[in-house]
């Protein structure tokens, strides 16, 4: 991998690490439904331009039903779940929980596709999930109403982990039903289908601020602060649309094995951004558990040595 590709990989990891910060800013102001809707719609617009420039083929009519299923698994449910979790879970910790996607992926492959797991993989999967348990049971979270320290809400942690499970399910659903569709076209179709599901309800329901963003009754969209609009725009255009373009550009040049390194770097940037820009504390236990989760994932995915 040359210097340009290395720089692009670091930039991509930094941008996706920023997404958890933007979730932390936007979700308390507008709610998970609006965040997810704006994110997929903005990403779809960016990819529409890119597909037109690249003259990439569009999905056929037969692809739209499986694309809707993929949209539910890879965008609608996980984007709403992560947005909900961002209301209660620190951004840095959320980026670590997001790194459990490959762990779920191995379990889904075993249960769904019948792919065997050797002893080393089982040990590393158990180590990874044990580290997640140790992390979430010891990590305090700022109480949204009063600013006091409280334990992490189990529902918010469950929403984050369920979101990463949805990502893993989407990968295998894609392999079975959309294997003939180019990856970039697949992503565009997924975002368009997700937009069709989310935009109408989000526009009708309007913003859903939490207790940290009190608004007069009936204020609606006019009460959304400018910083929340900026976070929504960055999340949609930068962290979804442009990030997908960079990811697939990198995938074409370096292949899937090396591009997987991006997923291992995201928690590093997620914790760094949250500490620098949000003032979140990074404890030694948090660093240790993050290292164990990412390390166990990397080791479990290594090909067995002869």
Q: What percent of the chain has pLDDT over 70?
A: 89
Q: What pLDDT score does 143 carry?
A: 42
Q: What percent of the chain has pLDDT over 90?
A: 45
User: Any idea what the Cα angle at residue 126 is, between residues 120 and 132, rounded to 5°?
Assistant: 135
pLDDT exceeds 50 at position 148:
no
- Min mean pLDDT across 50-54, 279-283, 299-303 is at 299-303
Q: Which residue has the tokens 């209301």?
A: 87
Per residue in 20-71, pLDDT tens?
999 999 999 999 999 999 999 999 999 999 999 888 888 998 899 999 999 9
Section 133-162 average pLDDT: 70
DSSP H or E stretch at residue 93: helix 91-98
pLDDT-based confidence at 129, cuts 50/70/90? confident
Q: State the CB neighbour count (10 A cutoff) for residue 212.
A: 12
Cα separation, 290 vs 264, whole angstroms: 10
* Average pLDDT across the chain, whole number: 85
pLDDT exceeds 80 at position 219:
no
User: Any idea what the Cα angle at residue 249 is, between residues 247 and 254, rounded to 5°?
Assistant: 90
Per residue in 71-111, pLDDT tens?
999 999 999 999 999 999 999 999 999 988 888 888 888 88
pLDDT-based confidence at 149, cuts 50/70/90? very low
Cα separation, 82 vs 174, whole angstroms: 21
Q: What pLDDT score does 32 carry?
A: 96
For residue 148, give the nearest of 160, 140, 159, 138 by alpha carbon. Answer: 140
Cα separation, 132 vs 138, whole angstroms: 10
Q: What pLDDT score does 288 carry?
A: 85
Per residue in 221-265, pLDDT tens?
888 999 999 999 999 999 999 998 888 888 777 776 677 678 888
pLDDT-based confidence at 210, cuts 50/70/90? confident
Q: What pLDDT score does 306 carry?
A: 40
């Amino acid at each position: 991998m040359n210097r340009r590709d290395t720089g692009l990989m670091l930039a991509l990891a930094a941008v996706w690490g920023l997404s958890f910060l933007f979730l932390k800013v936007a979700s308390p102001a507008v709610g998970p439904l609006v965040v997810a809707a704006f994110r997929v719609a903005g990403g779809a617009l960016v990819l529409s331009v890119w597909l037109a420039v690249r003259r990439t083929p569009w999905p056929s009519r037969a692809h739209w039903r499986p694309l809707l299923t993929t949209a539910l698994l890879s965008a609608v449910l996980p984007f709403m779940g992560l947005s909900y979790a961002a209301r209660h879970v620190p951004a840095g910790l959320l980026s670590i929980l997001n790194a459990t996607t490959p762990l779920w992926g191995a379990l889904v492959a075993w249960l769904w596709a019948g792919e065997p797991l050797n002893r080393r993989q089982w040990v590393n999967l158990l180590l990874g999930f044990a580290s997640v348990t140790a992390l979430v049971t010891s990590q305090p979270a700022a109480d949204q109403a009063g600013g006091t320290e409280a334990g992490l809400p189990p529902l918010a942690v469950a929403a984050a982990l369920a979101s990463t499970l949805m990502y893993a399910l989407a990968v295998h659903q894609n392999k079975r039903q959309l294997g003939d569709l180019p990856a970039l076209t697949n992503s565009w179709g997924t975002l368009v289908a997700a937009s069709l599901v989310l935009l109408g309800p989000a526009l009708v329901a309007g913003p859903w601020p939490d207790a940290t963003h009190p608004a007069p009754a009936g204020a609606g969209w006019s009460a959304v602060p400018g910083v929340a609009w900026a976070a929504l725009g960055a999340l949609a255009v930068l962290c979804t649309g442009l990030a997908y373009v960079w990811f697939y550009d990198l995938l074409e040049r370096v292949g899937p094995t090396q591009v997987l390194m991006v997923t291992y770097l995201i928690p590093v940037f997620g914790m760094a951004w949250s500490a620098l820009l949000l003032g979140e504390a990074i404890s030694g236990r948090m660093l240790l558990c993050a290292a164990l989760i990412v390390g166990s994932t990397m080791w479990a995915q290594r090909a067995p040595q002869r």
